[in-house]
Structure 1
Amino acid sequence: MIRPRRLTGLGTRILTALILVLCVAVVTAWVVALVVGPAIFDDHMEMVETADPDPGVVAHAEEAFDAAWRLSLLLALLAAFGTSIVVTVILVRRLVRPIRKIRAAVGEITEGDYSARVPESSIGAEFTELMVAFNSMAAELDRTELTRQRLLSDLAHEMRTPVSTVDGYLEAMQDGVAQADEQTLVMLREQTERLKRLAEDISLVSAAEEGRLNLRPAPVTVGELLDAASAQIRARYQAAGVHLAVKADGRTRAARISVDRDRIGQVLTNLLDNALHHTDPDDEVFLGARTSKSSVTFDVVDTGHGIDAGHLPHIFERFYRADSARDRTHGGSGIGLAIVRSIVTAHDGSVWASSRGTGSGAAFTVELPQSAHKTMKVP
């Protein structure tokens, strides 16, 4: 059996090292004084000697000096040694205390308590930076854990509904209560498609965040992207009584951009789908685009329910919902905006949302860098 090696604490090591340094300093000071002191005294005695010095007086002076300097130096060294030990112990405790706090916090995090934090120390910039970095890491782990828990909870909820529906109908058909007619088969197919779409969405976001998203960029005009996205979802808007308008001038529509057409189309349709979920009949949604020397920008602006400021930093997270009950009622998985962010990031672009608050509508903006587009001449 291999026994674990006993480790000496950092405070003990620092204290031992400083005591050794003090011992070396004391011995060095004593040796230097022992070698140099008598010689200097003899030189001074020679300067004041008379023609016929009294040997007894000289011997007594040398004895007095020797006793005086030895006793004075010994007392001074002992006082300095004792004071240094006290100061060293205080400093070592101040150094070790924050390290122990960090060790305790690490233990709490290891056991799953990601809320553990360490107070910032004032003993030095290095310790302060270490503790700030540790707290930032702990906060990120805490946020990740909360996201993971919410993801698993929401994923279980999203899967439970279609699975329960399919299982219920299959059991009913097995018991002869329900028949495998066309309406039942269509419903079962819709539920399996919902599960399939959920699995594909999660796979897409994971692949994008891990840098495995396969993009096939090709030149396409901004107008083609706008028209394709609006055409794909316009029927749903008409059924919901929400007005959809596409706004872009001729020069912008003619601008060419090298992107994965299907993926950027998915971005725009997801944003339009999100706007539809958060608008009421007679509300308006505007799909537009702008170009500049540095970027091509797509905008989806609605006059719907708006977004509270507290939700804005989180709406692109997986399964995050500002209104969980309403989104689930409309069949949303809470992952559409996460897909938007993942695809836009994979294109080296950025996406953000803005809103003046609840009831004031919302605006989603997708910006792609200058290198991603090339403006054509308008015919």
Structure 2
Amino acid sequence: MADTLPPELASHVDMAFARATLVSLTVAVTAATLTALVVAVLVTRRAVRPIREMSVAATAVAHGDYSVRVQEKGFGSELVTLSQAFNGMAQHIASTERTRGEMLRDLAHELRTPLTSVRGYHEAIADGVLPADRATFDRVDAELSRIERLVDDLAAVSRAEERGSDLRLRPVQVAELLAGAARSASLAFHGTGVTVQVEGGEGGSWVLVDSDRLHEALMNLISNAVRYTPPGGTVSLRSRAVSSTVKLEVQDTGEGIAAEHLQRVFERFYRVDHARSRSTGGSGIGLTITRALIHAHGGRIHAQSTGVGHGTTFVITLPRCAPASGNV
């Protein structure tokens, strides 16, 4: 046929086509390989960058820089979660170190006064200014007792802040908690002239608590209220249900607290002229212990007062729970 190629020419055409196909495949494979390498490098860099940043940040934290944070983003939700966990850890360590520093400063400040007094008595006795008699030694003993009480209170704060893991939680009726606290207070503060009473309220609600620890918190609040309430005054315990929570209130008719101090009364060693004075014998740490106990139960606590001379109310907010089995 006229359009049939000569054998030699057809062979050359086939060879040219094969070469072109081979070149095309080679170029395509090379391009694909290079593209894959570029993509792999970019993906690896994107995946490794947050890990590298986290490694640098971890080194900084290990050397005492607790302010460092990493960006909460990465290649995949796992890295985002890891970044968030790292930042949370760094924040917790920073908070712990800050609290430790504050405690050491507060402790040094609180110990300075009794230690100075003891040294003063010692020097006065040595110089013959004061006689080495029973009255002088009683005063020295009082200062040493104050130091001992302070150390015990600090240990109590530490225990309260660590109790979240060893609470023996069980459903308890609010009325039972308030009645128990009122009974204990009536015995403990008999003779003070202050009446401790339970007023009507939502006592039928239930809360999931360690009853011993919550009793301790309530007694701290009642003790604080009695301390600053004059004879003839009243400390009232009441409760009320609010949505999914229960509010326990300890209200007194005592000295009250000025507005500028309400947010700080739970701070370690914090005192105000009218509500936290040394003359009443408080170490300024009981409310700190109470707050730690309430927080360990997943609750909140705050103070309310309309001002000096108008009494104070401490409000504990706890989650409600279902009644214990057999009490439904």
Matched, 1:267 2:217: yes
Over aligned residues, Cα RMSD in angstroms?
Answer: 4.7
Aligned to 1:337: 287
Offset, 1:289: 3.8
TM-score, with structure 2 as normaliser:
0.71
Distance 1:139 1:310 in 2: 26
> Matched residue of 1:190: which SS?
helix
Q: Distance in 2 between matches of 1:246 and 1:365?
A: 17
Deviation at 1:85, TM superposition (A): 2.5
Structural mapping, 1:24-173, within 5 Å: 54-173=6-125
TM alignment of 1:296-307, pairs within 5 A? 298-302=248-252, 304-305=256-257
Number of residue pairs aligned between Structure 1 and Structure 2 = 309
- Cα shift at 1:228: 3.4
SS at match of 1:142: helix
**2:181 aligned residue:** 225
Write the letter of the residue equivalent to 2:184. Answer: A
Instruction: Deviation per CA, 1:206-241: give whole Å up to 9, x if none.
Output: 3454459899xxxx88545314325644766x6xxx
1:203-352 mapped onto 2 (5 Å cutoff):
203-210=155-162, 222-223=178-179, 225-230=181-186, 232-233=188-189, 246-249=197-200, 259-260=211-212, 266-275=216-225, 286-290=235-239, 298-302=248-252, 304-305=256-257, 311=263, 319=268, 321=270, 327=276, 329=278, 332-341=282-291, 350=299, 352=301
- Partners of 1:78 and 1:140 lie apart in 2 by 51
Q: Separation in 2 of the partners of 1:306 and 1:275?
A: 15
Residue 189 of structure 1 pairs with residue 141 of structure 2: yes
Normalized per residue, which structure has more helix? 1
TM-score, normalised on structure 1?
0.63
Which of 1 and 2 has greater Rg? 1
d(CA) in 2 for partners of 1:66, 1:283 = 111
Evaluate the alpha carbon distance shift between residue 224 and residue 53 of structure 1 in structure 2; reply closer, same or farther with a 3 A threshold.
Answer: closer
User: Can you give the 5+ residue segments of structure 1 that lack an aligned partner in the other structure?
Assistant: 1-48
CA spacing shift, 1:320–1:142, aligned 2, 3 Å: farther
SS of alignment partner, residue 70 of structure 2: coil
* Deviation of 1:96 (Å): 2.3
Asked whether the 8 Å contact 1:287–1:298 carries over to 2, the reply is: no
Structure 2 segments unaligned to the other structure (5+ residues): 169-175, 204-208
**Equivalent residues of 1:233, 1:269 under 8 A apart:** no
Structure 1 distance, partners of 2:321, 2:189, is 26
Return the offset for 1:172.
1.3
User: Does the Cα contact within 8 Å between 2:182 and 2:197 map onto a contact in 1?
Assistant: yes
2-structure distance, mates of 1:301, 1:104: 52
